């Protein structure tokens, strides 16, 4: 990354950072995408089991990765300020506590899944796929968490194309492994939906291996000597990093757990609704990668400019990111409306599931538009390291507005599963409005503190 002077230069640098991030995020989420699609073609019960498992797993999983992503604004700020000697220590300590976070994640999973499963009242095969998918994918948690630290280190220095290449390499491997284990190719047993968990866990190990190769063999990363002369764990540094990371992870959890909660509430409507709802959410998650990538690019660029003391440039990047995000969201919403039947056919051949899925995709259009406003605001605020208030706003908008509103519509206005979709949209829209107000306050306070 380098200093820019005109909007044209900023746009070029923005896209240079954004495009690899987008491809990386698309590749990451495509692992879950192919898990769902391939499981669906193994049967609706396989799809339902994987759907419920991912509804429970990924809000906690992505929230934990969100905690690790707190390293990005810190490293970007140090890089912009020219404090390269501190970056190595930050990354090394991040590796330590990310491993501890992974162990804690697995322990909590072991404690919670077993008592939760009987409460869901699932069909025997759906319950079997649900519990065993989670048990197997847990083996990949430690490597992917450590790999996430290295990925954030690479991204924060502006070399987002490298992480793009790493992730692109893992996607075809994951598809191939899923194919082997789900359908039992080459003499392997056909594991159905559980096989998707096996393939994904193996892929997580390969992702870590590729990241290690990059940071130890390629400049400028090898110059930081991340795996040499490892320091003793510093609880003070852990506290400093987690004070940024935990609010980010908690915000992500508030946003994603509401989708998981709605997915679990959908179990009361039967297997067909579960399968259709999860398929719609799965596709929406894929499309969300564009505003999410813009958000991540803004965190890097805003943090870099603030570290260099260039507040006006940080504001210009923020404005540019918001305009692009809303433009992309509108374009994608148009595609979603016009091709929803073709999209539904990707997920299932079951007529009942397909019909319901087409209806859910209409609601997904509105979600994409609100996400296009919401995501870049979050990214900009993270660049300012303003994360605690953002978390409180997420709790308010998603859990105190969105979910209760959806429940009221479903229960008292007979909207059924559609009511929860309206609630999700209301939560996202209220969150966007609150974040917009918060950003104005943060920019004003930052200007007064540093430039008056």
Q: Note the pLDDT of residue 206.
A: 93
CA distance 249 to 70: 8
Cβ atoms of 398 and 427 closer than 8 Å:
yes
Query: Burial level of 356, CB count in 10 A (0-12/13-18/19+)?
Result: buried
CA distance 185 to 63: 34
Q: Note the pLDDT of residue 1.
A: 66
Token pair, residue 399, equals 């859990």
pLDDT band at residue 276, thresholds of 50, 70 and 90?
Answer: confident
CA distance 100 to 111: 17
Q: Note the pLDDT of residue 211.
A: 93
Exposure pattern of 133-165 as b/e (b: 16+ CB <10 Å)?
Answer: bbbbbbbbbbbbbbbbbbbbbbbbbbbbbbbbe
Token pair, residue 254, equals 């508030």
CA distance 86 to 78: 7
Could you read off the pLDDT of 10-26 as tens digits, one per residue? 888 888 888 888 887 77
How far apart, in Å, do the first and last CA atoms of the chain sit?
28
- Kindly report which listed range (15-24, 231-240, 243-252, 345-354) carries the lowest average pLDDT score: 345-354
Query: Which residue ranges make up each domain of the chain?
Result: 11-451
* Nearest one of 324, 370, 228, 344 to 276, comparing CA atoms: 344
Q: What is the dihedral of CA 337, 290, 244, 81, to 10 degrees?
A: -150
For residue 93, pLDDT beyond 90: yes
For residue 451, pLDDT beyond 60: no
Q: % helix / strand / coil in the chain, to the nearest 5? A: 85, 0, 15
Cβ atoms of 322 and 310 closer than 8 Å:
no
Q: Note the pLDDT of residue 261.
A: 79
Residues in the chain: 452
pLDDT band at residue 106, thresholds of 50, 70 and 90?
Answer: very high
pLDDT band at residue 171, thresholds of 50, 70 and 90?
Answer: confident
């Amino acid at each position: 990354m380098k200093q820019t002077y005109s909007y044209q230069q900023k746009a070029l640098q923005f896209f240079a950072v954004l495009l690899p991030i987008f491809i990386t995020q698309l590749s990451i989420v495509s692992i879950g995408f192919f898990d769902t699609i391939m499981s669906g073609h193994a049967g609706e019960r396989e799809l339902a089991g994987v759907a419920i498992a991912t509804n429970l797993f990924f809000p906690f999983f992505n929230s934990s990765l969100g905690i690790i992503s707190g390293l990005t604004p810190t490293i970007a700020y140090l890089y912009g300020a020219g404090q390269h000697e501190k970056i190595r220590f930050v990354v090394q300590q991040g590796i330590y506590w990310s491993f501890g976070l992974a162990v804690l994640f697995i322990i909590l999973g072991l404690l919670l899944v077993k008592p939760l499963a009987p409460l869901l009242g699932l069909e025997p095969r759906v319950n079997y796929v649900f519990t065993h998918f989670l048990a197997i994918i847990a083996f990949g948690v430690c490597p992917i968490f450590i790999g996430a630290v290295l990925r954030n280190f690479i991204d924060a220095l502006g070399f987002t194309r490298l992480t793009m290449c790493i992730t692109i390499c893992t996607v075809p491997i994951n598809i191939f492994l899923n194919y082997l284990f789900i359908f039992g190719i080459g003499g392997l047993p056909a594991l159905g939906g559980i096989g998707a968990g096996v393939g994904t866990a193996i892929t997580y190990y390969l992702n870590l291996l590729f990241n290690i190769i990059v940071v130890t063999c390629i400049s400028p990363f090898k110059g930081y000597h991340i795996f040499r002369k490892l320091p003793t764990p510093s609880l003070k540094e852990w506290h400093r990093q987690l004070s940024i990371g935990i609010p980010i992870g908690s915000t992500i959890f508030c946003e994603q757990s509401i989708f998981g909660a709605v997915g679990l509430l959908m179990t009361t409507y039967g297997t067909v609704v579960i399968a259709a709802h999860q398929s719609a959410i799965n596709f929406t998650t894929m499309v969300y990668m564009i505003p999410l990538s813009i958000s991540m690019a803004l965190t890097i660029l805003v943090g870099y400019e603030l570290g260099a003391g260039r507040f006006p440039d940080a504001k210009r990047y923020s404005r540019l990111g918001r305009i692009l995000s809303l433009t992309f969201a509108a374009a994608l919403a148009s595609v979603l409306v016009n091709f929803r039947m073709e999209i539904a056919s990707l997920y299932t051949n079951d007529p009942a599931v397909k019909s319901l899925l087409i209806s859910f995709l209409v609601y997904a259009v509105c979600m994409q538009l609100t996400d296009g406003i919401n995501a870049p605001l979050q990214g900009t605020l993270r660049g300012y390291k303003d994360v605690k208030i953002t978390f409180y706003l997420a709790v308010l908008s998603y859990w105190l507005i969105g979910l209760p509103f959806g429940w009221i519509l479903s229960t008292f206005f007979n909207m059924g599963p559609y009511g929860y979709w309206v609630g999700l949209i209301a939560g996202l829209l209220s969150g966007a409005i609150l974040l917009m107000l918060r950003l104005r306050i943060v920019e004003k306070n930052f200007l007064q503190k540093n430039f008056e």
